[in-house]
Structure 1
C-alpha cells in the first residue's frame, strides 16, 4: 500500500509513505502505548523497508510545526501510526481535502462522513454548522486523534471539478482531488471497535470566502492519530441559491425484492413476517407508494402468496391488495430476480421460468376460487390469492392435471397487470457482447444498463441509448452511486452526506443548458433501508434541480449511441451455473419414475432460479456454499431409488426367480423396471419386471431366470429404469453360483433308459406273438389242406353242410391239445395286440 503525502500547505500532519504490507492493524494509543505496541508487533522486516519507514517518519516529524517527537523515537511512532492506517480506510470513492488519495484498504476500516448538522444543502452567507462522523468498523479501538475540517479552494460549478473534489472521475475511477483550505481543527475521542463518534464544527460565514458563490461547495475532513493520517474524505453540497434553469428529469427504478434465498417459494411464516406492519415488504411498499418511482417486482412474491390460497396469512393478502392499488410504473423482474445476463452467456434456448406450482397447491385451499373476469373491459379486480389480477380477457387454459379446473394454473399464479413487460434489468456491469440481442429475442427489448457497462461520454446525455442495435437506458454513475449510498446509510450524518452529494450533482446538471432525462437505480441487494429510500426520494422531489420522470419517459427520449464494454460474468459463476443446469436435466429425466414428474421438477426449477438471484452477487462465498448444498441435495434425489446390494445366490433349479430388493427414499411412489444382464450363458434372464415401490419404502422383486448350459459363477448386472427407459440409480452386480445343469442331464438319461427298457420289452413281446401266430398258422394250414383234399373227392354238399364243416374244422385249431402253443381266450387283452393284426392277413390268406 502506498499513500500520497499531504502537501506542505496542509501541515501539520504529513502522511507517511510506505510500501510495507505486513504492518499490524493495531491503532495508536499514545507515546507509551506506541512503544509497547512497537515492541509487541515488531516483526523482522527487510532492512530496506525499515530504513524507508524510518526516513519517512523522520521527515514527518521535521515537517510538523509543533516538532512533537524526537528522532530517536521516530521508528516506534511510525510503526504505531502505520498500524492504525493499515487497519483503517477512508470513504469509498473519496479523497482528502488536500488532494491525497484515501487509504487503499476499504473493507474493514475507518470512514468519515461530513454533512451540515440539520440539512442537505448549504446556505451561503450564514454560519455553517457541520458534523464529522467517525465510523470505526475495524476489530480494534481507534485512539484519540485530531480531526481537521477543510473546504475546496473555490466554488465547484462543473462536473469535472466535482469529480476531482470527490476523488472520482466520470467513469468512477480515482482522480486527483483539488487542494483544499483548512478551516478548523478539533480533538476526537477514542472510538471503540464497531462504534461511531461525532465531532461538531461551527464555521463562520466569512471563513468560506468565495467557495460558496457557486452552485456547489466542497467540504473535506481527515483524522490523524499521533500525527499519522488514518482516514480522509471529501463531500459536496449544493448551495441553496444555486439556479435551476434546466432541471434534470430524473427517472428512478426501485427493486421490490427480498434478501437472497436458496428457496424458490416463500413459506406462510416468511410472508407473514415480511408483510406484517413494519415488516420488510410492508416498509418497502410504504417507501415507494404514490411516488414517481418505477418498480421492478420479483414475481416470486406474488406467486408465493397466491399459491397458498385461503391458507395465506391475512397480512399477505392485504399486502397484495395494496400492491394492486399502486399508481407506480411496475414491470416484472425475472422469477426470483434470476440473473438474465448470466443466462444469456450460458446460451440457453430461452430464459428460465417456473415450470409448475402444482406440487404446492392444496385443493382445500381453493374450494371457493372464483374465475377471472371474462369481460375484457371490466376493471381489473384487486389481486387476491383466490382471484388473481390479470389483464387478459380470457383466463389461461387450466392445467390438465388439475381436477375440473379448480386449481390455478402457473400462468394465473404469475399474472399481474404490469405497466410494461419488456424490461430487462441485468446485474450491474455483467453484460457481455451479444447479451442484449439474446434478451431482445426473449421479448425483453429494453435493458437497464449500468454506467460501467458502456464507454463514458463527456458531458450530460440522456439515459436513452442504442447499444449493439438494441434499446437500452443507461443509469448515471454519479447519481446512482449517491442514491444507493443514501439508501444504505446507517446514521443521519451519513445519509445527509450522501443525499447532499446527490443534490450537488443535480444542481450542477441543472445549469448545463440542456434539459436531460437521466436515470438512477437503487441497489438490488439487502443493504437499502426502506426508511432511507423514502427520505431520499422525497429529498429529490423537494429540490428545484430535478423533476421526477417515469421510466417510460427515459426510454422514450432520443437515443444516444453508446459503446458496450464487454464485461462477462465470472468464469467460476458461469461454471457453477452450468453444473446446476446439467443436474436439473438429470433430475428431469429421473422424475419419469413418478406418475406426476412435476412433483420433482417443479421445486428443482424454482430453487435453481432462486440461486441465480442477482442479490447473491454481493456475497459470493455464501452463494458457493448454497450452490454446493443444492447440488448435494439433487445428487441425493438421483440416488433415492436404487437396487439394494445383496450377497451371492445359488441356482440349483432349471428355473428359479432372482430375489432383488428395490429401495425408494422419495416421498412419492416410484415405478421402475428391474432388469438383469448375465455375464455369460450359464444363466438366461427370461424377462424384466415392472414394480411400483411405495413412498419411503422398499419392495422385493422376483426376476425370472433360467439355467443355461454348464455350471459355475455368473455375474448378474441388476439395473433399474423408468417406464420411459431412463436409467435410474447405479447398476448393482450380484454373483450367482449355477449348479442346475445335472438335473437336466440326469432327467434326459433317465428318460432314455426308461424308453429303451419299455421299448425292448414291447419289441420282445411282438416277436414272441409273431412266432406263436406263425406256428399256429402252419399247423392250421396242414389240417385245412387235408380236409380240402377229402372234400374234393366227394359230391359238393349243400350250403348248410359247408358251414357246419367250416365250424368243425375250426374247433381243432382253437383247442388242439398237442399243438404245444395254447391260444389265449377270446377275452384276453392280448387278443388285440397290434402284432395279431399284423399277422391276420397272412393267416386269412393261408386259410383261404
Structure 2
C-alpha cells in the first residue's frame, strides 16, 4: 500500500475543505466609510451656519442615494445625533434625520420636525421604554423644522437638523429627542436622546470585549487566498486590528485564524504572517474563543461533557514548508522535518485560559455547570438580559456568580447597540445606536456605584472598521478602562437565570453534525492516515456552528445542508459496482467484481462474499487495495458442487477495523457445473472418433501406396519389353547383319 505524503495531505485537505465562503469586500466598505466621513465634515460646515440662525436647517444631501438593499415594504425614519448625542459645552447639537424608503413607490417627502423633552428621563427603565416607542409621560418641545425632498423607491435621504444651544444647554441628564415626518398615512417618527454630561459624576469602570473572528466559514481553516485577502491593507482582519489598536479593548480571538497562518509554514502570505506578528505585539488583554468561535451552548445542550477541540491537523501540513536552512546556503539533506503539533498550531499568543463566551442569551445552568465540571477555573461571559438581575434593562456589575459558577456579566442593551453601530457604514445611521449606548452607560455608571461594568461589541459578520472604532470609543468615553484582571478580581454578586430555554435549532444541528462525524470517523479506517478526513471534518463542524452565522439563518441552513450532503457523498465514495449476471460452467472458476474508490487516496478494504446456496462454494474474504479515483478489479475464486441452478452471492465491503463500507450488492450466478462432465464425454468421443478415422485413413493410404508401387513396377517392365521389341527391326536393317537372327536363335 502506498502511503500518501503529508505534503499531499495538505493539498488534499485544501481540496476536501473547498472554500464556499469568500472574504468580505472590506476595501469597498472602507472606501464607503471614508466618503461618509468626508460627507460628515461637509455637513458639519453646514451645521455651523445653523448656529448663526438656530431656527434654520439644511439638507445634508439634496440628491437621495439609491439603496441596494431589498425593499422592506415600509418607509423608516432614523434620528442620529452627532457626537453620540452628547451636548458640547456652550453649543448646540446637530443630528441627522434619514428617511429610508423601502416601499415600491416614491415617498413624497414633507417637513421634518425635531423635538426635545422638557425634562430628563428618570432611569434606564424609562430610557428603554422611550427608545422602544412608549411616549407616555414625556412632554416635548419643538426646536426646529426642515423640509425633506421626495425619496424614490429604495432610496435613502438624510437631512441635518439642530438642537439650538439655548435648548441644548440644560441641567445634566438624558433627554428624550424625537424626529417626525408628516406622511399622508400619518407621521413617521424616530426616537433618540440628547445627553448633557454631569462633571460631578464619578467615572465608571468599563471593560469592552471585541471578537477577532473571520466571519462565517464552511471550511475548517481559511485558505491561503482567503488569508491574503483578509490580511491585506483593506482586509477584514486588518480592519479589526486597526479598530482595536491603541484602545484598551479586551480581545476574544478565534484560534482558527492563527492556526490557518501557522499550518502554511514558509508558504504563508507575507501579509498574514505580519498580521499574526502584529496581533502578538498588541498590549491588549485577550482570551481564546472556541476554535471557529464554535457554539458552546449547542454542544453542551446536545449532551457533550467537554467542548469539541480540533483533531490532528497533519492534513494541512506540507513538510517542505517547515524545512530549515541557514542563510542562503542550500541545506544538506536531512530527515523529515519536525512538524508542529496541534497545541502549537492552535495557540493564541498571550491568551488568558479558562474564559468562555457562549452566544448571547444561550447560557443556562446546564452550560455553566458543565463548563465548571470540565474546568474548575471556568469564567463564563453571560448577557445580563438572560439573568433575573438584568431584567428590564437593569444595571448589573460585571462580576457575578450563578449557581456556584463564576461569570462575567456584559450589559445586553449596550452590547446590542454597540454591535449595531459597528455594522453601520455611515454616520447617518451609526449615530442612533451610539447615542442609545452612551445614554445607557450614563445610567449604568450611576447604578454600579463604582463596581466595574462589562460590555461587548457582539459578534457580527458585517462589522465596518470605522463603525467598530466608533463603538469602542463610545464605550470608553467618560469611563475608566477595566482590565480583564480587575473584572475577574471584583467582588461577585449572586443572581440566577431568568430563562432556561435552550436554542433547539442549533442543538439539533450540532447533534446531526456529530452523528455524521462519527460515521465518517468509522469510515476513515479504510485509509492509511485517517486524519486526512477526520481533521478537516472536525474543523468544518466547528466552523459551521460558529458565531459568524448568527443572524443569517437562511445562509446557515444552506451551509449545513451542503455539508451534510457532502458527508453522505464521502461515505458512499467507496463501494462495489453493481455486478452483471454470471454463469459458471465448470467445477472451479474465478468471478470478477469491481470496487469503486472516488477518494483521492488509496483505500484498504475486504470484500466479503456469501452465497445463498450450497451449490456454490465461494471464497468468503478477499483483501482489496483500491487505487485512488479509479475502479479496481477483484477476483473471487468459486467451486461448484453437484447440481445446477441459480445462486445469489451477497457482496459487501468492510474496513480493516470491521466497519461496513458502502451498500451490499448481489451477484446472480447461474451454475451449470454438469456441463463439464457432458463436455468431457463428448470430447473423449470426438478424440476416439478422430483416432479411428486417423487409423483408417493411414491404412487406406498405405494400401494405395502399395498398389501404386506395384502398378508402377509392372508398367516399367512392360516399357522395357516394349523397348526391346522396338529395337529389333532396327538391327536387322543394318548392313552385314542379315544372318544374325539365325545366330541368335541358335544361341537360344
Which position in structure 2 is the counterpart of 1:8? none
Please state if 1:232 is matched with 2:193: no
Please state if 1:411 is matched with 2:354: no
> Is 2:585–2:675's contact at 8 Å kept on the other side of the alignment?
no
> Is 1:479–1:520's contact at 8 Å kept on the other side of the alignment?
yes
Which position in structure 1 is the counterpart of 2:217? 261
Choose which of 101, 106, 115 in structure 2 pairs with 1:141.
106
Choose which of 583, 601, 610 in structure 2 pairs with 1:677.
610
Q: Any idea what SS the aligned residue of 2:210 has?
A: strand
Please state if 1:114 is matched with 2:79: yes
Distance 1:709 1:349 in 2: 60
Deviation at 1:741, TM superposition (A): 4.4
Distance 1:196 1:212, change over 3 A: farther
Distance 1:308 1:419, change over 3 A: closer
> Is 2:609–2:619's contact at 8 Å kept on the other side of the alignment?
no
- Give per-residue Cα distances to partners, 1:319-351, cap 9 Å, x unaligned: 111111011111111111110110000112421
Which position in structure 1 is the counterpart of 2:23? none
Which position in structure 1 is the counterpart of 2:530? 597
> Is 1:152–1:165's contact at 8 Å kept on the other side of the alignment?
no
Q: Any idea what SS the aligned residue of 2:315 has?
A: coil
Deviation at 1:511, TM superposition (A): 3.9
Distance 2:587 2:135 in 1: 90
Please state if 1:313 is matched with 2:269: yes
Deviation at 1:213, TM superposition (A): 1.7
Distance 1:642 1:419, change over 3 A: closer
The structure with higher relative contact order (CA 8 Å, sep 6+) is 2
- Give per-residue Cα distances to partners, 1:5-62, cap 9 Å, x unaligned: xxxxxxxxxxxxxxxxxxxxxxxxxxxxxxxxxxxxxxxxxxxxxxxxxxxxxxxxxx
Matches within 5 A, 1:287-686: 287-368=243-324, 404=336, 406-443=338-375, 445-457=378-390, 460-512=395-447, 514-541=449-476, 543-544=477-478, 546-686=479-619
Please state if 1:707 is matched with 2:640: yes
Deviation at 1:199, TM superposition (A): 2.4
> Is 2:651–2:667's contact at 8 Å kept on the other side of the alignment?
yes
Distance 2:578 2:303 in 1: 41
Deviation at 1:697, TM superposition (A): 0.9
Q: Which 10-residue stretch deviates more, 607-616 or 512-521? A: 512-521
Distance 1:418 1:719 in 2: 52
Please state if 1:187 is matched with 2:144: no
Which position in structure 2 is the counterpart of 1:771? none
Deviation at 1:615, TM superposition (A): 2.0
Distance 1:206 1:116 in 2: 17
- Give per-residue Cα distances to partners, 1:356-384, cap 9 Å, x unaligned: 211111111111189xxxxxxxxxxxxxx
TM-score, scaled to structure 2: 0.76
Distance 1:192 1:368, change over 3 A: farther
Which position in structure 1 is the counterpart of 2:179? 221
Deviation at 1:554, TM superposition (A): 2.0
Deviation at 1:569, TM superposition (A): 4.0
Deviation at 1:698, TM superposition (A): 1.1
Which position in structure 1 is the counterpart of 2:116? 151
Matches within 5 A, 1:782-821: none
Deviation at 1:471, TM superposition (A): 0.8
Deviation at 1:110, TM superposition (A): 3.3
Distance 2:397 2:83 in 1: 33
Deviation at 1:473, TM superposition (A): 1.1
> Is 2:179–2:191's contact at 8 Å kept on the other side of the alignment?
yes
> Is 1:252–1:551's contact at 8 Å kept on the other side of the alignment?
no
Q: Any idea what SS the aligned residue of 1:359 has?
A: helix
Distance 1:203 1:647, change over 3 A: closer
Q: Any idea what SS the aligned residue of 2:153 has?
A: coil
Distance 1:561 1:720 in 2: 59
Distance 1:700 1:119, change over 3 A: closer
Deviation at 1:125, TM superposition (A): 5.9
> Is 1:431–1:568's contact at 8 Å kept on the other side of the alignment?
no
Which position in structure 1 is the counterpart of 2:129? 164
Distance 2:448 2:548 in 1: 38
- Give per-residue Cα distances to partners, 1:155-177, cap 9 Å, x unaligned: 23532332332237xxxxx7957
Q: Any idea what SS the aligned residue of 1:351 has?
A: coil
Distance 1:559 1:117 in 2: 37
Matches within 5 A, 1:65-104: none
> Is 1:708–1:741's contact at 8 Å kept on the other side of the alignment?
no
RMSD of Structure 2 on Structure 1 (CA): 2.7
Distance 1:533 1:202, change over 3 A: closer
> Is 1:345–1:568's contact at 8 Å kept on the other side of the alignment?
no
> Is 1:116–1:122's contact at 8 Å kept on the other side of the alignment?
no
Moved over 6 A (4+): 744-748
Deviation at 1:722, TM superposition (A): 0.9
Which position in structure 2 is the counterpart of 1:131? 96
- Give per-residue Cα distances to partners, 1:587-620, cap 9 Å, x unaligned: 1111111111111111111111111112212111
> Is 2:116–2:178's contact at 8 Å kept on the other side of the alignment?
yes
Q: Which 10-residue stretch deviates more, 737-746 or 561-570? A: 737-746
Unaligned runs of 5+ in 2: 1-70, 327-333, 685-748
> Is 2:414–2:440's contact at 8 Å kept on the other side of the alignment?
yes
Distance 2:559 2:571 in 1: 19
Choose which of 282, 306, 313 in structure 1 pairs with 2:238.
282
Unaligned runs of 5+ in 1: 1-105, 169-173, 371-401, 752-848
Distance 2:556 2:627 in 1: 36
Distance 1:212 1:107, change over 3 A: farther
Matches within 5 A, 1:771-790: none
Distance 1:287 1:675 in 2: 62
Deviation at 1:683, TM superposition (A): 1.1
Which position in structure 1 is the counterpart of 2:159? 199
Deviation at 1:674, TM superposition (A): 0.9
> Is 1:369–1:406's contact at 8 Å kept on the other side of the alignment?
no
> Is 1:220–1:233's contact at 8 Å kept on the other side of the alignment?
yes
- Give per-residue Cα distances to partners, 1:756-807, cap 9 Å, x unaligned: xxxxxxxxxxxxxxxxxxxxxxxxxxxxxxxxxxxxxxxxxxxxxxxxxxxx
Distance 1:216 1:312, change over 3 A: same
Distance 1:139 1:439 in 2: 51
Q: Any idea what SS the aligned residue of 2:314 has?
A: coil
- Give per-residue Cα distances to partners, 1:92-119, cap 9 Å, x unaligned: xxxxxxxxxxxxxx96643333244566
Q: Which has the larger radius of gyration?
A: 1
- Give per-residue Cα distances to partners, 1:62-103, cap 9 Å, x unaligned: xxxxxxxxxxxxxxxxxxxxxxxxxxxxxxxxxxxxxxxxxx
Deviation at 1:746, TM superposition (A): 10
